[in-house]
Every structure is written in C-alpha cells, then in structure tokens.
Structure 1
C-alpha cells in the first residue's frame, strides 16, 4: 500500500478549499452519527409497549439491550481492525447495512426470538464512530480532524435526545410496527449517504489477518460482558457467573500469549501498552464507568421519596427526562468546542480540565446531594468535563496511533468505554444492594455516597496517570495528498 506524502497546508490548499473539504467529508458522517444516536435513544421509552407486543416479561425485555451490547463487544474490535486492512468506508458500509437490516427485523418480528436476531445485527452500531474517526483522521488536517471528531461525538448525544423525543411522540400511533419502522427509514438514508457521499480512508494495515487473534478477542469480550450481566442478575457468587468470568480470564491469558507471537496480531499489544496510549485507555475506562454506569443510579436517587427514605427529591418521570436532557447539554457543548481549547492549551491540558471537572462534579454529589440546585450545578460541571474527555480521548488516540492502525486504536477506546460502563453497572448494583433498607426495599443514602465516592476515586486515578501519558513530537498540520476514490 503506497504511503501518501505530507504537504504543507498553506502551499497546497487555500482556506476556502480546506473548509469545502471538511464540509464534504464530515457533513454526511454527522448525519450518520446523528442517526446512531437516534437509534440508541429511540427504543428505551418504548419498552413498556415492547413487553406487550412480544408478550414477554419485564426481566426478559432487558435482553433487548444486553444482546446488542454483547454483539457490540464482539464486533467493534474485529470490524475496526478490518477497516484498517480493507478500508474504513468499506467496513462502515457493511456495518450500516447490518444495523439497517437488524432494525428492520426488530420492527417486523412477530416474536421476541426473531427480534433478538435483529438486535445482534445492530451490534456493529458501536463501530461506526471508530471507523468515521479513522476516515476524518486520514483525510483532514490535525485541527480539522479534531473539530470533526468533536462534532461527531456531539451529534450522537443530539441524536439520542431526538430519538427519545420522537419515540414519545410516536408512541400514540396505534401500530407499534409502524413506530418501529421510523428509525429504519433514517437508517436507509444512512446507507445511501455512506455509499454515495463518504470518502475512503487512505492508509492500509498489513493485509494478513490474525484469525485466531480475532476469535480469541471476540470470545473474551463475549464471555466478560456476559459474565458481568449474569453477575448483575444472579450475583457474582453464583457458580455459573464465576465459571463464565473464569473462562473469560483464561481466554484472555491465552489470547495475550498468542498475540505476542503472531506475525500480524489482531491487536499490537506493544502499541496499546506504550506510554503514549495506555493512560488514555485507562481514562477511557474511567469515563465509561461514570457516564454509562451511573445513569440508573442518578435517576433512582432523584426519583426517591425524601419523606420515606430521607433522601432524593421525588421527581416525576417527565421531570426526570428533562433533567437527563439538561445533563447531556453541557457534554454536547464541550465535545464541540474541545478542539478550540486543545489548539490553545494542548490536548493533555484538555484532558486535565475534563478529569478535574469530572472529579468536582462527583464531589458535589457527595457533599450537596440534599440541595437540588447545587446538585444540578455539580451535574452540569461534571457533564462539561465528560464532554471534554469524549472529544479529546479519541482525538489523542487517533493521533498517537500509527496511520495504518487508527481504526483498531479508536475501536479499543470504544470497547473500553463500554466495558467500563458494564463493570460499573454490575459493581454499583452490588453496592446499592449491600445498603438496602429491609423495611423499604431501597438502598440507604450510604449506597449512593459509596457509588459517587468510587466515581470520584476513578477520576482521581485518571489524574494520577495523566502525567505518565507522553506524547510523540507534535504533528505538523498537514493534508495528505488524496488519490481518486
């Protein structure tokens, strides 16, 4: 695969041409990620109707989310690596088609079993962002790529809000099949956009495929996420749960042994563990813990009756939805503007700001959880910090990874973030259960304080490892010479 020489932006391209290039490359990708967020936010408000539609129980419907998460855990590292080998747009096309077919199958399924097949096909939804980051990183200058990554991350959040609102508005439609077909229409437009308007990336990895490495990685992610799910449902002392998690550890150790000896490993462990990347990956795990692992915890706390339990604010479901949306807004704004801060202060300082604000937000929840206005301010501050991390982490990882490994590098970021949320969700469930008040059937305030203390400690760990993160020499702002695609 030929290497594309780097050229100085000023000598090759005018400012106007650069902006046109950015719009042409990023515009349709923003629509794709907006659709990704829309799909992620669309189904949750419909769970009650889905239970009746497929005649399943409330506990069974949780597999609607679990199956997609398991499929994502397997597909993200595999497809992102295949993008490095065969082209990120090519794999993005496959991933978008898979999700569109999966969503259509969910909408048209007469039974829950067939719907689960559709949810498996929706698993590659999580690899869209890593593949898109690889495309923009390959096609744009460093500053333009950072701005594009920030906008892509923000569009997911905006799409999730729009999806949730759309689900609420469409829930009055008599036919649930019609309601479920709405996101399918949007996904069909995504397929058209990816095939017609999205360019291909310019760098390729070694074409040799480490088949056993891919299978081992997929098996490890599947066993680990399944074990965590079983632990949440049946407890981590359950024999079945222990067997699954032990199996995950064994598979991981064998996989590491194999990858160190493979000629073209699925994941270059020497790359992942070097000081330019592993602290960023650890912070990615921390971010997933707090962002994905505490959503239910926060909602439960805010909805709790203070007269009965001595904490909470007894907020109604409608108010809770507004609080959730309001908490997303600062993260959306921060992810859009992180590139400007990075240009002025550097990416490492942006990570420092993000971790510090995240820590302050958790400390505010611990100290001021009886005061709703101050607690809301803490949520806003923490959300802004998380938004900075959402933008800065994948940008830094893409810049520090070799040009032919951008897909797998950012795919690992996405997987670790998801894994952090899964681990935190299981651990926090156990923590709250340990503080349950028998007479009330709900956790005491001590459970929530413990959860927020864990999150604060996680951000503190991120701050402690940040100085270890040593960046390579600054990359010159360049545009690669493009070939005809």
Structure 2
C-alpha cells in the first residue's frame, strides 16, 4: 500500500523494473533539451544583426517559442495519455529537428520565428517524460524528476558555453544547425532504449480547444507587444487585446463543457493544483520573461548607449552560464532539501534568492564581475523551484493524468513567460534613448524591478502552501494501490 511522504507530498511505492534504466536514458534526452533551449540565447545579438531586427523585437526569439509551447504541451500530453508517451516523445524530437533546420536556413526574421514556433513542441518533452517516470520509477519519481531537471540545467550550461565558443568563430548558419543533430541523437536513444508506457486514457482530442487557445493567446500577445507603437488606446490595439481575451474566455468555457478537454480545467480545483499552477505562473513570468533582457544588457556597448558591457557571443555565454550551472546543482538536491526543511521553507528560500539576484542586477549593473556572480545566487533559487513545483503537481494527479498534469505545469510556466516577454518587449519599445530605437537603461531597471516584486509575491504566498497546495493523490482501489497499469484493450 502506498503511503504519502509528509515532507515532499509525493506518494511512495516500490521501484518498478526498468525504472533506473528509464531515468538514465530520459536524463540524456533532458541534457539535449537543455542544450536546445539555451542554444539561442547567447546568439540573440548576432541573430538580430543577421536578420536586421531591433532589440525590442528580439524578445520574440524566446516569446514565440514560449507561445507555441502553450499550445503544443497540453495537446501532445493529451495525445501521449491517449496513444503512448514514448511515441509522442519521438514525434516531439522529430518536430524539433525540422524547426531547427528552418531557423538555421531562415532568410527572414518571420521564417526564423516560424522555426521557433515549431521548436515549441520541445516543451512537451518533460511532461511526457514525467508520465513515463510515474510508471517506471514509482516511489523514486520525486527524486527522478529532480535528476531530470538537473540534467536539463546541465544541458543548459553545456549548451550555453558551447554555443558561445562556436558563435564567435564559426558561421552562424552552421552553429544554428547543431541542435538538429543533437535532437536526432536523442531521438535514436529514446527509440532504441526506452519502452512505451502501458497506461492509456480514453476520450477524443480537443482540436477546437487547441485552436481557440493558440489563436487567442497569439492575438492577445501581439496586441500587448505592439501597444506602445500603435498606441494603447488605438482601435487596433484594443481589438487585438480584447479579441484575444474573448477567445481565451471561450476556450475556458469550452473546456468546462466537453467530456475530453484539451486542458482539464477541473484539475485546477483538485488537490491544490490551482494554487501550485499560480505559483508556477509567477515563476515563469520572472525567469523566462527576463531571459532575453539580461542577454541584451550584456551585449550592449556602453560607449554607444551608456550601459551594458559590450560582450561578444563567448562573453555572453560565459556571463550567463552561472545560472544554468547553479540550476543544475540545486535542482538535483531539491528533493532532499524539501524533505529536510519542508516545501514551504524551500519555496520561500528560493524566492528570496531570486529576488536577491534581480536586486543585484540593478545595484551592480556597472560592475561586470559582481553582475555575473549574481546569476549563481539566482540559479540556486530557480533550480529548487523548477524541481519542486512539477514534482508536487504530478504527485497530486491520478496516474492516467500524469502527462496532462505535467503539461499544465509547463503551460502555466510558459504562458506566463510568453506574456511577460511580450510585455517586456512593449516596455523596451516605449522607453527608448531619445532619437533612437534602442531601449534606455531605465527599461532594463523597470523590468528587473518587476521581477523583484514577483519574487516577493511568491515569498508571501508560500506560507499558504500547506493549506492551499493540497496533498498527494491517494488511490481508492486495490488496483490503484499497487499501481497496476491499465492496459489498452486490443
């Protein structure tokens, strides 16, 4: 019989056969995923130069990716629950390969962003792997999730450093092709060594919901990002924002009405998942929203604009590397730390570390060595939260809902990041150096100050975790207690 762990909130059960092997091969794919996700960030200045894009528009390099993950993640997770999680992992890696080739060969910024949108399917990789771990790793699922997130951070650190070295000396097109090879190697590894899951969920796929979510969010973000240029009270801006919100409201209404929704909104009212999703959204807003901003600050030339450090691709890569390195270490320790000190204390400590990071960016924005070192402090906090929240969310779902629960986590995080990216792009477009299209230093300070406020809000909400964050899923039948998979009928 399973018993809940009081500290972690994750149910315990005997480790199932093949669990350790599955963790190892999936960890390799997360290293690849981390490299792919970090690959473009140090190259953002060079991408802007190649495609003749201004700094504010470059926020869409990350925002377009995050936007597409909002649609891809719940859709592919649902398909994984229905048709097999390993099968969807292979489709994800194939799609990422295609999108990567498109970004490398893109003749314009629009085509480049199309490739980034296709790459957004990568966001579904972790939720699908969480479902595989739920079946294979049993009681060690919390620890295994920490390992996967740690490998994601390790890949991010390795990718950041590697692309920095290649970006200075190699042709940009060739550098952009490298992630395609990485994705293909990971695809072959999963295809050869990771078995398919046996749990299946019934129901059809909500294609209408996917369309409403994708179109609604895209229109809304376009309205937000162009508000400063077109005018916040202009008919175009108001129609885009209002129309996008209307479609999103229609999406929520549809999901509540149909029997097989794309996003099971009812999960948000069960087991404290809604509260955890709210914390996840706040986390995504600050971490993803500010990623491009810091890179642009590192690359800005102080002799030309009065701020920044004028770093090239190698310099930017090494400057941002403390964040993924610290994330890798802390995420692998998150399960042990939360068991020792409790989830609430771990969450509060993490949010304070992230707040200190952004305070440091503002305070030491003219001191390169201290500015860089602040990333290590923030990375520790990011790693703890990035490992803790998905483990808690997945533990509160039924086994057959594991992938969609993980997808809700990723959707909440990336949707907030996409909204933040569009909002921060609007801030950078509205706070310009006089007579230019270059953001002023005040724009960067404003964005970092917003991130400080969000971190402190997480700190304030953390004490309510035990009351509002729910408890781990408890099986109601003997079959559920021994975690027997429900096999699809032939």
- Whether TM-score is above 0.5 comes out as yes
Once residues 44 and 278 of structure 2 are traced to their aligned partners in structure 1, the CA distance between those partners, rounded to angstroms, is 33
Once residues 153 and 146 of structure 1 are traced to their aligned partners in structure 2, the CA distance between those partners, rounded to angstroms, is 11
Given candidates 241, 253, 258, the residue that maps to 1:245 is 241
Q: What SS does structure 1 have at the residue aligned with 2:282? A: helix
Q: Does 1:102 align with 2:124?
A: no
Once residues 327 and 380 of structure 1 are traced to their aligned partners in structure 2, the CA distance between those partners, rounded to angstroms, is 5
Once residues 77 and 96 of structure 1 are traced to their aligned partners in structure 2, the CA distance between those partners, rounded to angstroms, is 16
Q: Does 1:35 align with 2:32?
A: yes
- Which residue does 1:141 correspond to in 2? 138
| TM-aligned CA deviation for residue 251 of structure 1 | 0.9
Once residues 372 and 109 of structure 1 are traced to their aligned partners in structure 2, the CA distance between those partners, rounded to angstroms, is 34
Unaligned runs of 5+ in 2: 5-13, 476-480
Assess, with a 3 A threshold, how the Cα gap between structure 1 residues 119 and 233 changes in structure 2: closer, same or farther.
Answer: farther
Q: Does the aligned pair in 2 maintain the 1:232–1:426 contact within 8 Å?
A: no
Query: Structure 2 matches for 1:144-293, cutoff 5 A?
Result: 144-170=140-166, 179-231=175-227, 236-237=232-233, 239-274=235-270, 276-293=272-289
Question: Which stretch has the larger CA shift, 237-246 or 55-64?
Answer: 55-64
Assess, with a 3 A threshold, how the Cα gap between structure 1 residues 180 and 145 changes in structure 2: closer, same or farther.
Answer: same
Once residues 301 and 48 of structure 1 are traced to their aligned partners in structure 2, the CA distance between those partners, rounded to angstroms, is 10
| TM-aligned CA deviation for residue 114 of structure 1 | 6.6
| TM-aligned CA deviation for residue 344 of structure 1 | 2.0
Once residues 429 and 105 of structure 1 are traced to their aligned partners in structure 2, the CA distance between those partners, rounded to angstroms, is 24
Given candidates 38, 53, 57, the residue that maps to 1:58 is 53
Once residues 168 and 313 of structure 2 are traced to their aligned partners in structure 1, the CA distance between those partners, rounded to angstroms, is 18
Q: Does the aligned pair in 1 maintain the 2:67–2:418 contact within 8 Å?
A: no
Given candidates 408, 414, 417, the residue that maps to 1:412 is 408
Once residues 98 and 432 of structure 1 are traced to their aligned partners in structure 2, the CA distance between those partners, rounded to angstroms, is 32
| TM-aligned CA deviation for residue 384 of structure 1 | 1.0
- Which residue does 1:11 correspond to in 2? none
| TM-aligned CA deviation for residue 338 of structure 1 | 0.5
Query: Structure 2 matches for 1:398-477, cutoff 5 A?
Result: 398-432=394-428, 435-438=431-434, 446-469=442-465, 470-473=468-471
Q: Does 1:394 align with 2:390?
A: yes
Q: Does the aligned pair in 2 maintain the 1:131–1:407 contact within 8 Å?
A: yes
Assess, with a 3 A threshold, how the Cα gap between structure 1 residues 112 and 269 changes in structure 2: closer, same or farther.
Answer: closer
Which string of whole-angstrom CA distances, capped at 9 and with x for unpartnered residues, describes residues 198-235 of structure 1?
23334333324344333323333333344444447756
Tell me the TM-score normalized by structure 1.
0.81
Q: Does 1:123 align with 2:120?
A: yes
| TM-aligned CA deviation for residue 429 of structure 1 | 3.7
| TM-aligned CA deviation for residue 394 of structure 1 | 0.9
- Which residue does 2:9 correspond to in 1? none
| TM-aligned CA deviation for residue 329 of structure 1 | 1.7
Q: What SS does structure 1 have at the residue aligned with 2:321? A: helix
Which string of whole-angstrom CA distances, capped at 9 and with x for unpartnered residues, describes residues 180-202 of structure 1?
54332322222222222123334
Assess, with a 3 A threshold, how the Cα gap between structure 1 residues 479 and 386 changes in structure 2: closer, same or farther.
Answer: farther
Query: Structure 2 matches for 1:288-307, cutoff 5 A?
Result: 288-302=284-298
Q: Does the aligned pair in 2 maintain the 1:284–1:413 contact within 8 Å?
A: yes
Q: Does the aligned pair in 1 maintain the 2:205–2:262 contact within 8 Å?
A: yes
Q: What is the total number of aligned residue pairs between the two structures? A: 471
| TM-aligned CA deviation for residue 131 of structure 1 | 0.9
Once residues 52 and 304 of structure 2 are traced to their aligned partners in structure 1, the CA distance between those partners, rounded to angstroms, is 29
Q: CA RMSD in A?
A: 3.9
Q: Does 1:350 align with 2:346?
A: yes
Question: Which stretch has the larger CA shift, 76-85 or 125-134?
Answer: 76-85
Q: Does the aligned pair in 1 maintain the 2:161–2:314 contact within 8 Å?
A: no
Q: What SS does structure 2 have at the residue aligned with 1:122? A: helix
Q: Does the aligned pair in 2 maintain the 1:29–1:152 contact within 8 Å?
A: yes
Unaligned runs of 5+ in 1: 9-16
Assess, with a 3 A threshold, how the Cα gap between structure 1 residues 330 and 479 changes in structure 2: closer, same or farther.
Answer: farther
Q: What SS does structure 1 have at the residue aligned with 2:197? A: coil
Assess, with a 3 A threshold, how the Cα gap between structure 1 residues 208 and 233 changes in structure 2: closer, same or farther.
Answer: same
- Which residue does 1:72 correspond to in 2? 69
Once residues 101 and 270 of structure 1 are traced to their aligned partners in structure 2, the CA distance between those partners, rounded to angstroms, is 35
| TM-aligned CA deviation for residue 427 of structure 1 | 2.9
Once residues 245 and 459 of structure 1 are traced to their aligned partners in structure 2, the CA distance between those partners, rounded to angstroms, is 26
Assess, with a 3 A threshold, how the Cα gap between structure 1 residues 368 and 234 changes in structure 2: closer, same or farther.
Answer: same
Once residues 452 and 45 of structure 2 are traced to their aligned partners in structure 1, the CA distance between those partners, rounded to angstroms, is 34
Once residues 177 and 283 of structure 1 are traced to their aligned partners in structure 2, the CA distance between those partners, rounded to angstroms, is 38
Q: Does the aligned pair in 2 maintain the 1:279–1:465 contact within 8 Å?
A: no
| TM-aligned CA deviation for residue 125 of structure 1 | 1.2
- Which residue does 1:12 correspond to in 2? none
Q: Does 1:90 align with 2:87?
A: yes
Once residues 61 and 446 of structure 1 are traced to their aligned partners in structure 2, the CA distance between those partners, rounded to angstroms, is 18
Q: Does the aligned pair in 1 maintain the 2:66–2:417 contact within 8 Å?
A: no
Which string of whole-angstrom CA distances, capped at 9 and with x for unpartnered residues, describes residues 340-373 of structure 1?
1122233333222212222233344455556555
Which string of whole-angstrom CA distances, capped at 9 and with x for unpartnered residues, describes residues 390-426 of structure 1?
1111111111122222222221221222222222233
- Which residue does 1:23 correspond to in 2? 20
